[in-house]
Every structure is written in structure tokens, then in C-alpha cells.
């Protein structure tokens, strides 16, 4: 049994103040800040985390910033341990962009602590990860509890699809060794009352659909009815991808067979969560969910594809809108994919579906921007299942639970391929209303402290199970 006091104290005295500093830095992922290198924000958060990490009283700890030419930096650490086996801890320091809709007294780069929640961009996704990882290891060592050798990969390209990570993984493989437990701290939790293990992640296929009908805009009174609307064409093209009535994605190649154990698990999780499955979303007015049944809603968000249109070009803001037949419409499409569908192949499916036989012969292009493959957890080893449940009962006073997540962590698919024998503890603090990527993102401080204690227990159990 791990005494959690040291972890909780370290969170209060060191980690929360560091995360407050971290939130102030607009360390946007390269995708959202192409000049990231010149701006230096990524560098600042790496330095902030490195300085703290290096000062941890952990025997044999080595902390290094690794830089491959032309790529975002990676913070790497190594802690020697018992036996031949290795634990890999993963997190990231780059952030999503600002997003609109923040409360007036807070903002993405303006940290506010209220009711035990630290508001601001990146605290929960995923700045806390390196602090939690090393705090867990420090607590084990302070009590003389054995752990295996641990390595940490804290990247700065995750929110851009981790395109720099494969190169780092390749360069570091000889140092990392063979991994048999992966601890990923970038995922979600169903509520704030127990340890949640993520059993699957969706993939992502994103790109820009552009429909062009004119060389320049013309008076809509003159042209409408003769020149087809680029917006209407785009709408029709989207109907090839999804059923506009119920949102079901149409191409069969974008669906996967849902494993039976995942269907059963969704039912169990829906029973634990009850209304939270729906009330976690800030629905406007009388808006209803796309499914009434909790289990179906969970399967929709974890094992079925779904389309979001996340950006648009070719439109003036409403205040500046003249009566013009616009020359083009561009839509940024973001399609979440079932865990077992290949992300890059999915972008090619989108391209062929959207570009085929363009209405009115318009110029239609789909340029893939990102393809990331999801992840389905291997069967959980008995020692890990026991360790998760024991940790959850000891720390939260309730049994652990498992569920799929609807987001994407591209690295998990890479790791699953590279270390097919590994076990995974993928978990995180992104629970109800924590709103990573949206406005008013918060870190539930008490939940994160306890999660750190759970991670320590699981790493101890891993060493004991050797």
C-alpha cells in the first residue's frame, strides 16, 4: 500500500504552481503555430518541465531534451529499476489552440483556480502528465518500494497528430528497450470517482474539402440560378459521407466490426455512469442526443465513425456579408474513426468519395491533412486487472472501471505495433466538463492527485508481478 501523502503534498506545493506557469505559455502544437520554433513557447514549456523534473530526488534519474533536426523537441527521462522489464510513461506538452467561449475571468492562457479546478489550456491535456509520472516514481522510492526501469517520452507534437514521434521512437528504441507496460496519461475518465482504464481510442481522418465554381465572386442577383452555389455542392458532397438525417457515416470501409466484449463493456459503463453519459455535454436549449440509450451513445462515441466540420473558408464574417455568389467554399472535415480502421487509408476513402463525379463539373478537391489510426487494448493481464482494481479501491474507495474513448492518441497505435506483448494503462483526467480542446478546459486537481497515487500503485504491482 502506497502512502499517498507525499504525492498529495507535492501536488499542492510544487505541481499546481508549475501548471499555473505552464498554462500561461501559449505552447500551441506546430499545426496551430507553424512558427513555433521562432516563437519559442514550446521551448519554454519543455524547459519548465525539464527544470522541475531534473530536481526530483529520484535515484539515477536522467532527464534530457532530445532534438532531431527540423522536429519538435522531446523530453526524455530514464529511471533505473529492478529486473529486466521496462515501463514506458507517455505524455505531451504541446497544446490545442485557444478556441472561443471562455468565461470572462479566465482564458486559455489565464489560469484560474476555483472549486478545486485549475482552468486554462493544457493543464489537463496534457501538461500534468510528466509531473504525475515523476511524482509517482518519487513516492515509490521515498518508501523503498521497488519498480521496474522506467522511461518517459514527453512529446510536443501530439495535438498535430504526433508526426514527429515515429522518428524519435526509432532513434530511442535501443535506449528504451523492450516495453511491457505502457502508462499513458493523456486520456479520459468517465467520472471523478474511480480509476478509469481506457480500452480503446478512435482514429482520425481529416482534410480540406474545397469546391470552386467561379474565378471571382459575382453579384448574387446576377448569377444565382445560373451559377451553382459552391455551398450547395459541398452539402451534396457531404451527403455522400454521412446520412444528413441521423449522422450515420455511409461508406462501409469507414466502419469496423465492434468486438463483443466492447459492446458488453459499454453496457456496464453506461450503468455506472447513468445520466452522466449525456449530462456531461453542455447541450443548448432542448437539444437531444443522437441516441437515447447510454450504451448505444457510448458505442457511437468510441466505435463508430462520426463527422465534424471544424472550420470553413471562403465566407466573409456575417457583418461583412454582401449579396454575392461566392466563388468557393472550403470546409475542414474531421472524421473520427473506429479504433481498428487505418487512418491514412480512411483519408483516401474520403478523397475518392468526395472527388468522384463532381456536381456541375465544379472544381472539387479533398486534401488530406491528417490520418491517425486508433487503438484497441490487448486483453488485460490478470496482474494488471487486479492492480487497477486494488489501486482504485485504495485511493478512491470504489472499484475501477473501463471504457473506450472517442479521441485519438496516435502514439498508442504505434506502440501497440512496436510492443505487441505490452500491457497498457491508458488513463487520464479528461472527465465530465473538463473540456479539453474547447473553452474552459480544467484540471480536476483532487482527481489528478489521486490518479497519481494509482499510477504509483500500478507501477509497484508491475514490479511485484515480475
- Rule CB under 5 A: which residues touch Zn ion? 125-126, 186
Q: Would you say 153 or 234 has its CB closer to Zn ion?
A: 153
Closest contact distance (angstroms) between CB of 33 and Zn ion is 16
Closest contact distance (angstroms) between CB of 393 and Zn ion is 28
Q: Would you say 330 or 440 has its CB closer to Zn ion?
A: 440
Place of cell 497498457: 424
Closest contact distance (angstroms) between CB of 186 and Zn ion is 4
Closest Cα partner for 29 from 41, 47, 44, 20?
41
Closest contact distance (angstroms) between CB of 430 and Zn ion is 8
Rounded Cα–Cα distance for residues 5 and 456 (Å): 12
Q: Would you say 81 or 431 has its CB closer to Zn ion?
A: 431
Closest contact distance (angstroms) between CB of 104 and Zn ion is 26
- Helix count and strand count (H, E) for the chain: 15, 18
Closest contact distance (angstroms) between CB of 154 and Zn ion is 11
Sign of the four-CA dihedral 248, 188, 457, 134: positive
Q: Would you say 33 or 296 has its CB closer to Zn ion?
A: 33
Using an 8 Å Cβ cutoff, are 151 and 77 in contact?
Answer: yes
Q: What percent of the residues of the chain are helix, what percent strand, and what percent coil, each to the nearest 5?
A: 40, 25, 35
Q: Would you say 99 or 238 has its CB closer to Zn ion?
A: 99
Q: Would you say 33 or 242 has its CB closer to Zn ion?
A: 33
Rounded Cα–Cα distance for residues 28 and 416 (Å): 27
Q: Would you say 126 or 180 has its CB closer to Zn ion?
A: 126
Closest contact distance (angstroms) between CB of 158 and Zn ion is 5
Using an 8 Å Cβ cutoff, are 391 and 457 in contact?
Answer: yes
Task: Please tell me whether residue 188 adopts helix, strand or coil conformation.
Answer: strand
Q: HSE-up of 136 (CA within 13 Å, CB side)?
A: 29
Task: Please tell me whether residue 365 adopts helix, strand or coil conformation.
Answer: strand
Closest contact distance (angstroms) between CB of 28 and Zn ion is 13
Q: What would the DSSP string read from start to end of 136-168?
A: HHHHHHHTT----EEEEEEES-GGGT-TTHHHH
Q: Would you say 135 or 156 has its CB closer to Zn ion?
A: 156
| The C-alpha cell that represents 8 in the structure block | 498529495
Closest contact distance (angstroms) between CB of 263 and Zn ion is 27
Q: Would you say 184 or 207 has its CB closer to Zn ion?
A: 184
Q: What would the DSSP string read from start to end of 376-419?
A: EPPPPPHHHHHHHHHHHHHHHSS--EEEEESS--HHHHHHHHH-
Closest contact distance (angstroms) between CB of 159 and Zn ion is 6
Using an 8 Å Cβ cutoff, are 30 and 95 in contact?
Answer: no
Return all residues near 309 (Cβ < 8 A) that are at least 6 apart: 238, 331, 332, 333, 334
Rounded Cα–Cα distance for residues 83 and 117 (Å): 39
Q: 366-369: long-range contacts at Cβ-Cβ below 8 A with a sequence spacing of 24 or more? A: 366/207, 366/208, 366/209, 366/210, 366/333, 367/207, 367/208, 367/210, 368/205, 368/206, 368/207, 368/344, 369/206, 369/207, 369/208, 369/332
Cis? peptide before 322, omega within 30° of 0:
no
Using an 8 Å Cβ cutoff, are 202 and 419 in contact?
Answer: no
Closest Cα partner for 266 from 405, 424, 391?
405
Closest contact distance (angstroms) between CB of 42 and Zn ion is 15
Closest contact distance (angstroms) between CB of 464 and Zn ion is 30
Q: Would you say 126 or 342 has its CB closer to Zn ion?
A: 126
CA 215 to chain centre: 39
Q: Would you say 53 or 436 has its CB closer to Zn ion?
A: 436
Q: Would you say 305 or 407 has its CB closer to Zn ion?
A: 407
Amino acid at each position: 500500500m502506497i502512502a499517498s501523502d507525499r504525492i498529495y503534498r507535492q501536488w499542492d506545493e510544487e505541481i499546481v504552481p508549475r501548471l499555473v506557469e505552464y498554462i500561461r505559455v501559449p505552447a500551441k502544437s506546430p499545426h496551430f503555430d507553424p512558427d513555433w520554433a521562432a516563437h519559442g513557447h514550446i521551448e519554454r514549456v519543455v524547459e519548465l518541465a525539464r527544470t522541475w523534473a531534473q530536481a526530483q530526488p529520484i535515484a539515477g534519474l536522467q532527464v534530457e531534451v532530445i532534438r532531431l533536426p527540423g522536429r519538435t523537441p522531446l523530453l526524455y527521462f530514464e529511471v533505473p529499476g529492478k529486473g529486466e522489464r521496462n515501463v514506458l510513461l507517455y505524455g505531451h506538452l504541446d497544446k490545442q489552440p485557444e478556441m472561443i467561449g471562455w468565461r470572462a475571468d479566465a482564458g486559455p492562457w489565464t489560469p484560474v483556480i476555483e472549486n478545486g479546478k485549475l482552468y486554462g489550456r493544457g493543464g489537463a491535456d496534457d501538461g500534468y502528465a510528466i509531473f504525475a509520472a515523476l511524482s509517482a516514481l518519487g513516492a515509490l522510492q521515498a518508501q523503498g518500494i521497488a519498480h521496474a526501469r522506467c522511461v518517459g517520452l514527453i512529446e510536443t507534437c501530439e495535438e498535430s497528430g504526433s508526426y514527429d514521434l515515429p522518428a524519435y521512437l526509432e532513434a530511442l528504441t535501443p535506449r528504451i528497450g523492450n516495453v511491457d507496460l505502457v502508462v499513458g496519461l493523456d486520456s479520459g475518465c468517465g467520472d471523478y470517482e474511480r480509476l478509469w482504464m481506457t480500452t480503446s481510442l478512435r482514429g482520425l481522418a481529416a482534410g480540406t474539402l474545397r469546391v470552386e465554381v467561379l474565378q471571382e465572386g459575382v453579384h448574387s442577383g446576377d448569377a444565382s440560378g445560373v451559377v451553382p452555389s459552391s455551398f450547395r455542392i459541398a452539402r451534396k458532397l457531404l451527403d455522400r459521407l454521412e446520412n444528413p438525417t441521423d449522422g450515420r457515416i455511409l461508406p462501409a470501409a469507414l466502419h469496423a466490426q465492434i468486438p463483443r466484449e466492447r459492446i458488453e463493456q459499454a453496457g456496464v459503463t453506461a450503468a455506472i455512469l447513468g445520466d452522466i453519459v449525456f449530462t456531461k455535454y453542455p447541450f443548448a436549449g432542448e437539444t437531444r442526443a443522437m441516441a437515447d440509450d447510454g450504451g448505444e451513445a457510448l458505442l457511437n462515441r468510441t466505435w463508430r465513425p462520426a463527422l465534424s466540420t471544424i472550420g470553413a473558408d471562403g465566407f466573409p464574417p456575417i457583418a461583412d456579408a454582401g449579396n454575392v455568389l461566392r466563388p468557393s467554399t472550403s470546409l475542414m472535415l474531421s472524421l473520427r474513426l473506429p479504433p481498428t480502421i487505418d487512418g491514412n487509408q480512411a483519408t483516401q476513402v474520403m478523397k475518392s468519395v468526395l472527388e468522384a463525379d463532381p456536381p456541375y463539373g465544379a472544381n472539387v478537391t479533398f486534401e488530406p491533412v491528417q490520418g491517425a489510426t486508433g487503438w484497441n487494448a490487448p486483453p488485460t493481464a490478470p496482474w494488471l486487472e487486479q492492480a487497477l482494481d486494488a489501486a482504485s479501491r485504495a485511493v478512491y474507495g470504489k472499484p475501477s472501471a473501463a471504457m473506450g474513448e472517442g479521441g485519438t492518441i496516435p502514439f498508442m497505435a504505434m506502440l501497440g505495433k512496436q510492443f505487441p506483448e505490452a500491457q497498457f494503462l491508458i488513463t487520464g483526467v479528461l472527465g465530465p466538463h473538463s473540456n479539453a480542446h474547447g473553452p474552459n478546459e480544467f484540471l480536476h486537481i483532487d482527481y489528478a492527485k489521486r490518479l497519481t497515487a494509482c499510477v504509483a500503485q500500478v507501477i509497484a504491482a508491475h514490479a511485484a508481478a515480475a
